[in-house]
Chains A and B, each alone.
Chain A
Amino acid sequence: MSRIPLPYNPKVMDLFRNPKNLGKMDDATVVAVAGNPACGDMITFYLKITDKDVIERASFESYGCAANIATSSIVTEMIKGLSLEQAWLDVTWKKVTEEIGGLPSVKFHCGVLAVGALKRAIRQYFKQKGALIPSWMPAENTFEEKQALEEEELAKLLSKRLKTEEKAEK
C-alpha cells in the first residue's frame, strides 16, 4: 500500500483536474506508448507533425497517478510548435519537472517516462518516414528511453513470474 506523503503542488493538481490536450488524436502522424499497466504507469502520445518536422499538435492518454497525468499533459504543452530537434534536445525530464513546479522525488520517474514516450514518438516518426536518422538523434536509446524499456521489462518479468507461480500452484 502506498504510504509516502505526496503533497502535489497546485500546478500538478490543476493539470490533474483539467488536463490539457487530453485524448486520442485521429489524424496523428505518430503514436507512441511507454510504460505498462502492470506498473500502474502508462502513457500514449499522439503527435501531428508537419512536412517540415515541426510538432503542430500533441495530445495524450494516461493510465497512472496524478503526477503521471500532469507530466504527460505538460509535455504536450511544451512541445507544441517545436521542431522535432528542439523537442528532442530541450525537453528533458528535469525541465518537465521544473515546468510543472516540482514533483515529490518518488514521482521523478513520471517525468522520465513522459520524456521517454516523447523520444520514442520522435524516433518512431523517422522510422515511419524511412528517413535517415538526423545527426542530433543518437543511434542508441537515451536515458529516458532506457528507463521506459526497463519498466516494461520489469512488468513482463513480474507477470511472467505470476504465471509461473500459477502453474506451480496447479
Chain B
Amino acid sequence: MVENVKELLKLHEGITHEVYLDNENSSVIPQEIVDEMLPYFNKKAYGNPTLTHKPGWEAFEVIMNCFQTISKSIGAKNLEDITFTPGETEANNLAIMGSCFARKSMGKKIVISEIEPINVLQVAEMMQKFGFTIQKISVNPDGFINLEKLKEAVDNETVLVSVSSVNNEIGTVQPIKEAVDIVKAKNPQTLFHTDASDAYGRIPLNVQDLNIDLATLSSYKILGPRGMGAMYLRDGVNMERILEGQIGTQKLWPGVENTPLIVGFTKACELAFQNFEANVAKMRSLRDKLVDGIFTELDDLRFNGPKGNQRAPDNANVSILRAEGEALTIELSLKGVYVSSGSACSRRLLQPSHVLVAIGRRFSEAHGSILMKTTRYQSEQDIDYVLSVLPPSVNRIRGIVGSTGVD
C-alpha cells in the first residue's frame, strides 16, 4: 500500500504550479503562523501551565492570552467560556454529549438540521444509544433551514438544537438569530448549539448578540494548525465532561494543554480578524473568479448552494455532470490542483454527500460534485492556473464516460 503511494507521488513530479483548494479538509498553514508556533515547542513556555515553575508559568501566561483573544473574537463574555479541544470534531462531541448528559432528566430530544456536518450528525445519532431521539429539520434547495418546521419540532422535551452557522459543503449562511429566537420562544430551557467552523473568519459572529449557548470553532478552517479547535459555552450553562483525566486550566477538557497549537490557532485568529473586511473580500473575489471561469469554460454544470451574500465568501461547490468526482479529483491532482468531491465512490454503501442529496440533487449530480474553498493567501494567478487545468481535465473524464453516465 505504501509502495503504491510512493508511485502515485512520483506521478506528480514535474508539476509546475500547485493550488490547494481542499480547505474543507485541511489547510496550508501560512509561514507567519508556523513561525509564531515554533518557539513554543522547545524555546519557551514548554511547561505544563498548571505547575509551579517558570516554564509552567510562561505557558499559563500565554494560554491565558490565547483564551482572551479567542473569546473576544466571538464576543464571549468571559475567557472561561472557551474550552480548547483537539479539533472541531472533539468540540462538537463535547458540545452535544456534554450538554445532553447534563440535561437528561429534563428531556430526551435533540433537533438538528439534515445538512449538519458528519461530526454533528453522527454524534447526535449516537446519542440514540442513550435514549435520546433526534429530529432532523429539512432545508430548501439552497440549504436554508425550514424555520416553520424548526418551530414545530421544538417541544418541552427538547434539550438541544444544533444548526451550523454556515454549511461546510455548500456555504449556506443560516438565519441563526431567527432560529435561536424561534427555539427560545418555544422552550427557553432548550440549548442552542452552532458549529461555527465555517462561519468563523468569514461572516460576523457574536455569540452574545446571537444569544447562542454553545458554539464550535476550528483552527485549521481559519488556517491555523490542525488538531486544535474550541468550544464556546455560555456562562452559567450546566455541562458534563465527556473525558476524564487530569484537569488543567480548563474544566471541560482534561489533559496537558497543547501550547504551540493553541498559540498557532490564536495567531490564525488574530490574522483573520485584523483585516477582516479585506480578507473576506479577497476570498470572495477569488471564489467569484473561479466560479465565473468554470461556468464560462464548461457546460452541463450545477451550482450547489445559494448565491450572493447568503453564501460563505470562500465556498464554491459545482456539480459537473457526465463526470465522476473521484476520477476528477485524481486527474486534477496530477496537474497540481487539489479539490474534494461529494462522490460516494469509495464506498459500497453508495451514499453520496448527504448535504447535496438533502438539497434535492440527483445522485449522479452529487457524484460529479467538486468542493473548493479559496483563501486570502491565494492569488489571481492561482485561479487562472486552475481555470487552465480544469476544462481539459473535465473533458478527458467526460471522454471516458461517453454516453454511459447519462441518466
Binding site for B on A (CB under 8 A): 1-4, 6-10, 13, 16-17, 19, 22-24, 33, 36-44, 61-66, 68-69, 106-107, 109, 151, 154-155, 158-159, 162, 166, 169
Q: Which 10 pairs of residues, A with B, have the shortest CB-CB distance?
A: A63-B405, A61-B402, A40-B367, A38-B363, A2-B346, A37-B364, A7-B4, A65-B326, A65-B345, A61-B404
Given A8-B8, A40-B363, A155-B363: A69 and B400 interface contact (C-beta under 8 Å)? yes
The docked-state distance in angstroms from the alpha carbon of A61 to that of B403 is 8
Whether A159 contacts B4 by the Cβ 8 Å rule is no
B340 at the interface (CB under 8 A from A): yes
Residues of A contacting B363 in the complex (Cβ-Cβ under 8 angstroms): 37-40, 155, 158-159, 162
B237 at the interface (CB under 8 A from A): no
Whether A162 contacts B357 by the Cβ 8 Å rule is yes
B247 at the interface (CB under 8 A from A): no
The docked-state distance in angstroms from the alpha carbon of A10 to that of B6 is 10
Interface string of B332-354 (1 = CB under 8 A from A): 00100000111111111010110
Given A1-B340, A7-B4, A7-B8: A106 and B347 interface contact (C-beta under 8 Å)? yes
Whether B347 contacts A61 by the Cβ 8 Å rule is no
Whether A44 contacts B348 by the Cβ 8 Å rule is no
Looking at chain B's contact residues, is the secondary structure mostly helix, strand, loop, or mixed? Answer: loop
Query: Most B CB atoms within 10 A — which of A65, A69, A107?
Result: A65
**In B350-407, which residues have CB < 8 Å from any A CB?**
350, 352-353, 357, 360, 362-364, 367, 399-407
Task: Name the interface size band of chain B.
Answer: 35 or more
The docked-state distance in angstroms from the alpha carbon of A44 to that of B402 is 9
Task: Give, as a whole number of angstroms, the nearest-CB distance from B375 to chain A.
Answer: 20
**In B121-149, which residues have CB < 8 Å from any A CB?**
138
Whether A159 contacts B350 by the Cβ 8 Å rule is no
Q: Which residue of A lies closest to B350 (CB)?
A: A39
**In B27-50, which residues have CB < 8 Å from any A CB?**
none
Q: Which of B334, B348, B403, B406 contacts A24 (CB 8 A)?
A: B403
Residues of B contacting A166 in the complex (Cβ-Cβ under 8 angstroms): 360
The docked-state distance in angstroms from the alpha carbon of A42 to that of B348 is 14
Task: Give, as a whole number of angstroms, the nearest-CB distance from A71 to chain B.
Answer: 13
Q: Which of A10, A33, A37, A154 contacts B367 (CB 8 A)?
A: A37
Whether B343 contacts A19 by the Cβ 8 Å rule is no
Whether B346 contacts A106 by the Cβ 8 Å rule is yes
Task: Give, as a whole number of angstroms, the nearest-CB distance from B196 to chain A.
Answer: 20
The docked-state distance in angstroms from the alpha carbon of A107 to that of B343 is 14
Q: Which residue of B lies closest to A9 (CB)?
A: B4
The docked-state distance in angstroms from the alpha carbon of A150 to that of B73 is 52
Q: Which of A9, A33, A159 contacts B404 (CB 8 A)?
A: A33
Task: Give, as a whole number of angstroms, the nearest-CB distance from A44 to chain B.
Answer: 5
18 residue pairs from A and B, CB less than 8 Å apart: A2-B347, A4-B347, A19-B400, A24-B403, A38-B350, A39-B350, A40-B324, A40-B352, A44-B404, A61-B401, A61-B404, A62-B400, A63-B324, A64-B327, A66-B330, A155-B363, A158-B363, A162-B363
Whether B341 contacts A2 by the Cβ 8 Å rule is yes
The docked-state distance in angstroms from the alpha carbon of A141 to that of B342 is 33
Whether A65 contacts B343 by the Cβ 8 Å rule is yes
Whether B404 contacts A40 by the Cβ 8 Å rule is no
Task: Give, as a whole number of angstroms, the nearest-CB distance from B221 to chain A.
Answer: 15
Task: Give, as a whole number of angstroms, the nearest-CB distance from A153 to chain B.
Answer: 11
Residues of A contacting B5 in the complex (Cβ-Cβ under 8 angstroms): 7
Residues of B contacting A42 in the complex (Cβ-Cβ under 8 angstroms): 404-405
Task: Give, as a whole number of angstroms, the nearest-CB distance from B185 to chain A.
Answer: 25
Q: Which of A40, A43, A151 contacts B343 (CB 8 A)?
A: A40
Residues of B contacting A63 in the complex (Cβ-Cβ under 8 angstroms): 322, 324, 401, 404-405
Residues of A contacting B1 in the complex (Cβ-Cβ under 8 angstroms): 7
Residues of A contacting B407 in the complex (Cβ-Cβ under 8 angstroms): 36-38
Residues of B contacting A9 in the complex (Cβ-Cβ under 8 angstroms): 4, 7
The docked-state distance in angstroms from the alpha carbon of A108 to that of B56 is 53
Q: Which residue of B lies closest to A10 (CB)?
A: B7
Q: Which of B7, B345, B404 contacts A2 (CB 8 A)?
A: B345
Whether B402 contacts A13 by the Cβ 8 Å rule is no
Residues of B contacting A3 in the complex (Cβ-Cβ under 8 angstroms): 346
**In B279-324, which residues have CB < 8 Å from any A CB?**
322, 324
Task: Give, as a whole number of angstroms, the nearest-CB distance from A151 to chain B.
Answer: 7
Q: Which residue of A lies closest to B406 (CB)?
A: A37
The docked-state distance in angstroms from the alpha carbon of A166 to that of B360 is 8
Whether A155 contacts B350 by the Cβ 8 Å rule is yes
Given A17-B334, A40-B324: A6 and B346 interface contact (C-beta under 8 Å)? yes
Residues of B contacting A36 in the complex (Cβ-Cβ under 8 angstroms): 407
Beyond the given A13-B11, A162-B362, please list 16 additional residue pairs across the A-B interface where CB-CB is below 8 A: A1-B118, A1-B169, A8-B4, A8-B330, A37-B404, A38-B350, A61-B402, A64-B324, A66-B330, A68-B324, A106-B347, A109-B348, A151-B350, A158-B363, A162-B357, A166-B360
Whether B343 contacts A2 by the Cβ 8 Å rule is yes
Whether B402 contacts A23 by the Cβ 8 Å rule is yes
Task: Give, as a whole number of angstroms, the nearest-CB distance from A70 to chain B.
Answer: 10
The docked-state distance in angstroms from the alpha carbon of A166 to that of B361 is 11
Given A37-B363, A42-B405, A159-B362: A66 and B350 interface contact (C-beta under 8 Å)? no
